[in-house]
Amino acid sequence: MDSLVVEQSHFTGLFPAGPHLGPSVVSWRAGSCREFADLVVYVMRALGIPCGTDYMAMRGDNNVPHFWNFTLDKDGKTYITEFPDPNWKRAVSMYNPKAKVYRNTYGLNWKDIKRQQGKMMHPAFRKPLYQDVTAVYADSLNRDLVVSSDILCKEVHKGDIVYFCLSTRMDWVPIAWTVFEEDSLRFQDTEGSVIGCLATWNGKRLVMQSEPFTYDKMSGTIALLTPQSEKEDITLYFKFPLFCDLGILRMPGGVFEGSNDSQFRSADTLYYVKQWPFRLNNTIFPEKEKSYRYVRYKGPKGSYCNIAEMAFFEDTSDTLALKGRIIGTPGCFQKDGSHDYYKVYDGNPYTYMDYKTPDEGWVGLDFGIPHRIKKFTYIPRNSDNFIHKGDVYELFYWHDKKWNSLGRQVAKADSLNYVIPKGVALFLKNHTQGKDERIFKKTDGRQQFW
């Protein structure tokens, strides 16, 4: 595995329909996780090491499937690797919200075929070349998902095939199925921490048969996301989960400093970043009484000093930032100057500093003379999934088998305000640009993505 990760690889989140690339993927080293799982299989089997592929038909926290590799030890325990990580780890250590995990096989799953009883099935399950291995990954948190018939629409009848679905943007993808009995549905071997919805298949498309519901990982309980008569306000700052944005993850531990020493040997902390920034434009009001000639942002270890923009002000009411000479650690990871420290002052919130090494990077200003800093702003490195000023957005909530619009807005700043029914599943669509959008709900006043 060490030798495989040395050469550069090119990843994509696209999963085109059609056959696998075959052994040529070993030399091409490009594609999605599906192609790289194939790559590892080819190499491992060429060395005489048994290896296969496990997968999620849809991730519980993203809009795509996911594939990775497994092998078994002499005791039959499953170990996994996700290229380009060269390490193998126990399957139970995989933290991603999964709901269902399957293992690719070359032979049909006759147990599933017998359960189908010749009924019309969704294409994903007609030829079951898989084994259900959810229990291997969920371990003690593996459980059957039992759903009362009360949440189903009236057109579902005894003996119908019902699908457990996860969201992908504004659509739903079936990841498991069961036969409807008189009073309940039982989906065997599942793991929670997802938003799901139930559906049937009419031969051409999925027909949604329930409101969405949260499925709790620890308790196994479900909670319907049903619109209530009461309304509430919500402020939106982004359209896709922040934990998918590398630049956001690298901010905690960073520090903004002021000093009258150009080497910052004696520096005061103006602000310490404790958690992920949850909006594009972040404003801080330092409480220091001193004046400083030099200010800087120093990234935490492993962050490559990722930051997009920052500006300093003498007064809390000022809109014109202080000017100064840009200072910092020269060099960038790309080795071409494209992400050097001066990018933090180019006025573009979507370019950023990416220092040449993981540690010790910093960027700042030399004002020439000391200034009292009463306010400063910063923008984290980001993938443009925060609210983008000038873009057209539309907020939807799910009810009655479909997404319902709460209206379009043109963003005038880095946030949007809406009035929504309480207790609903939400989806924010950017009609101007981008495709990274994800289902969420309001929890404790903020957006919670699933």
Pairwise CA distance, residues 238 & 137, whole Å: 31
Same domain, 253 and 213: no
With helix as H, strand as E and coil as C, how does 30-86 read? EECHHHHHHHHHHHHHHCCCCCEEEEECCCCCCCCCEEEEEEECCCCCEEEECCCCC
**Final residue of a structural domain among 224, 259, 283:** 224
- 3-20 residue pLDDT tens: 676 677 777 777 777 788
Same domain, 255 and 295: yes
Domain membership of residue 121 (yes or no) is no
- Do the Cβ atoms of 133 and 78 come closer than 8 Å? yes
Same domain, 334 and 413: no
Same domain, 253 and 321: yes
Domain membership of residue 118 (yes or no) is no
Same domain, 277 and 372: yes
Same domain, 149 and 199: yes
Domain membership of residue 374 (yes or no) is yes
**Final residue of a structural domain among 70, 96, 122:** 96
Same domain, 186 and 255: no
Same domain, 251 and 354: yes
Same domain, 367 and 398: no
At 176, which helix (H) or strand (E)?
Answer: strand 171-179
Same domain, 200 and 255: no
Pairing of strands 78-81, 66-72: antiparallel
Domain range holding 431? 231-242+386-448
Domain membership of residue 153 (yes or no) is yes
> How do the pLDDT tens digits run along the chain, 450 residues long?
666 766 777 777 777 777 887 877 877 778 889 999 999 999 999 999 999 999 999 999 999 999 999 999 999 999 999 988 888 999 999 988 999 999 999 999 999 999 998 899 999 999 999 999 999 999 999 999 999 988 988 788 889 999 999 999 999 999 999 999 878 899 999 999 999 999 999 999 999 999 999 999 999 999 999 999 999 999 999 999 988 889 999 999 999 999 999 999 999 999 999 999 999 999 999 988 899 999 999 999 999 999 999 999 999 999 999 999 999 999 999 999 999 999 999 999 999 999 999 999 999 999 999 999 999 999 999 999 999 999 999 999 999 999 999 999 999 999 999 999 999 999 999 999 999 999 999 999 999 998
What is the DSSP code string of 83-134? TT----EEGGG--S--S--EEE-SS--HHHHHHHTT----HHHHS--EEE-H
Domain membership of residue 344 (yes or no) is yes
- Buried/exposed code over 331-365 (b: 16+ C-beta within 10 A; e: otherwise): bbbeeeeebbbebbbeeebeebbbbbeeeebbbbb
**Final residue of a structural domain among 46, 68, 96:** 96
- Do the Cβ atoms of 257 and 327 come closer than 8 Å? no
How many domains does the chain contain in total? 4
Domain membership of residue 151 (yes or no) is yes
- 168-179 residue pLDDT tens: 999 999 999 999
Same domain, 431 and 376: no
Same domain, 165 and 265: no
Pairwise CA distance, residues 77 & 87, whole Å: 16
CATH code of the domain in which 59 resides: 3.10.620.30
